[in-house]
Chains A and B, each alone.
Chain A
């Protein structure tokens, strides 16, 4: 195991229940600096809940969470912003951190939306807003990025570019990333560690391990079998933990 100073957040057998119903139970995972950990699972399997446990948004939890950093960037799955608030993109960028103008421009340029800087947040399209959310999360140069479906509503080419950006950021900032995605295709190629959830941890390990796991196949059913077949069709290699490409 690695030494503790690389550790960013650690969940030990964590769970959360709401109205006497367990949203997720018995999750153990850890995110280290420079590593991308991805949560996958069907709808309602507790992915977002797990992220919120890790972030400390849910307080009355089962099990334990250990957080080793406060420099966190978060892209929530759903952001409902009340339009009684007049808010421009530039106001939103400095929401939780005071940033210099250059830093705002730099982050917005990275996600390709610097031209929207003075636009009102309410006038953005879904994809544009998503890019602003991601820019805001990375602009503070966090130790830990928690990205809950960060590219939802982004066009196809943009999606690939943003996932590449996320990968690049994790290398440049040496930050840890907890990523939630339903896009198995992308996940499998960029991730160091996959945790497959279905109310509990159904399996976890390197992407290739998880892809071969029977429970995983059973969980995702026919559609996943297809995705998986596409995946296997397109790729003749797997990534090792160090990011090297290994031939199958």
Chain B
């Protein structure tokens, strides 16, 4: 019925959605949208490194993104520049350096569009294994640090005072962010990964009144976006990343109707 590549993309995308759901909620709660952007821009450098040294893309992206995250934390401590300026600096300079490096790699033919916007044709069985194994590991670690991470998201000082060690949870969460970007880059593309994190979670915020519900709806929203997005990608021959993100945008708009409804009910 469907080609193998499409089934592979679907399995991979569903794996990604399970992980971006809960992580995306934290991205929204902790106001990390631009942080996610910065990490994903730096992913291009990771991809070029992978090609240069014939290394696995996911692992290479994970390493580069983690290093960029560490540099960011150091810069925040050592300079007086505001956080958003530092994020912009790292995002665009790592993107630029990545593109320059690609220019030097004349011996490899690059599908830049695929890198930026995702390419469902590119998903291999190996990628699926990395996505599901890596994704399971990310979710397991997230579950382990849930309490301190959530408590410090609500109020840092309460978490610190009552002995939950929020700094450690934050550092681990940063690494999880690098990891999800690494495993989802082929599907969604590096320019749109943050959208996959934010939009389903934003949609979920509109229709949830508890944190647990928001995580659940965020996962469901991500799954629907992947399924609808990939089918339309196949149907209309569009890039997989933009199709998935567009689907999630449609879901978000639908969730706004629900808000409008509940406001009308209140009045």
Question: Of the 9-residue stretches B8-16, B117-125, B156-164, which lies at the interface with chain A?
Answer: B156-164
Quick one: closest A residue to B208, CB to CB? A86
Indicate whether B205 reaches chain A with its CB closer than 8 angstroms. Answer: yes
In-complex Cβ contact of A84 among B164, B205, B210 (8 A): B205
Q: Contacting A86 at CB < 8 Å: which of B151, B157, B213?
A: B213
CB-CB contacts below 8 Å: B151-185 with A = 151, 153-155, 157-164
A55-B161, A57-B160, A70-B163 known; A85 and B153 CB under 8 Å? Answer: yes
- Given contacts A56-B160, A146-B161, whether A86 and B210 have CB atoms under 8 Å apart is yes
- Which residues between 67 and 103 of chain A lie within 8 Å of chain B, taking CB atoms? 70, 72-74, 76, 79-82, 84-88, 91-92, 95-97
Number of chain B residues close to chain A: CB under 8 A: 24
- Asked whether A91 lies within 8 Å of B210 as measured between CB atoms, the reply is yes
Q: Which residues of A contact B205 (CB under 8 A)?
A: 84, 86
B235 contacts A by Cβ under 8 Å? no
Residues of chain B contacted by A152 (CB below 8 angstroms): none
Which one of B159, B164, B210, B214 has the highest number of Cβ atoms from chain A below 10 Å of its Cβ?
A: B210
Q: Find out whether the CB atom of B157 lies under 8 angstroms from the CB atom of A57.
A: yes
Bound complex: CA A97 to CA B160 (Å): 13
B29, A82: Cβ atoms closer than 8 Å: yes
Within 8 Å CB of B159, what residues of A? 95-96
How long is the Cα–Cα vector from A87 to B29 in the complex, in angstroms? 11
B92 at interface (Cβ–Cβ under 8 A)? no
A95 to chain B: which residues have CB within 8 Å?
150-151, 154-155, 158-159
Minimum distance in angstroms from A52 CB to a CB of chain B: 7
Q: A85–B211 contact, CB under 8 A?
A: yes
Least distance between B23 CB and chain A CB atoms (Å) = 15
Q: B147 an interface residue at 8 Å Cβ cutoff?
A: yes
The proximity string for B residues 206-218 relative to A, scoring 1 for CB distances below 8 Å and 0 otherwise, is: 0011110110000
Residues of chain B contacted by A55 (CB below 8 angstroms):
157, 160-161
Q: Does B28 contact A (CB under 8 A)?
A: yes
Query: Interface 1/0s, chain B 105-116, versus A by CB < 8 A?
Result: 000000000000
Asked if A88 contacts B209 (CB within 8 A), the reply is: yes
Instruction: Give the residues in chain B near A206, CB-CB below 8 Å.
Output: none
Is B154 touching A74 in the complex (CB atoms < 8 A)? no
Within the complex, the shortest CB–CB distance from A46 to chain B, in Å, comes to 16
Known: A86-B208, A86-B213, A96-B164. A74 touches B157 (CB 8 A): yes
Please determine whether B29 and A72 come into contact, CB atoms closer than 8 angstroms.
no
Question: Which B residues lie within 8 Å of A28 (CB)?
Answer: none
With A85-B29, A96-B162: A76-B157 Cβ-Cβ less than 8 Å: yes
Q: List 14 A-B contacts (CB under 8 A).
A: A55-B161, A56-B160, A56-B161, A57-B157, A72-B163, A74-B162, A84-B28, A84-B29, A86-B211, A88-B209, A88-B210, A91-B211, A95-B150, A96-B158
Which A residues contact B (CB, under 8 angstroms)?
52, 55-57, 70, 72-74, 76, 79-82, 84-88, 91-92, 95-97, 120, 140, 146
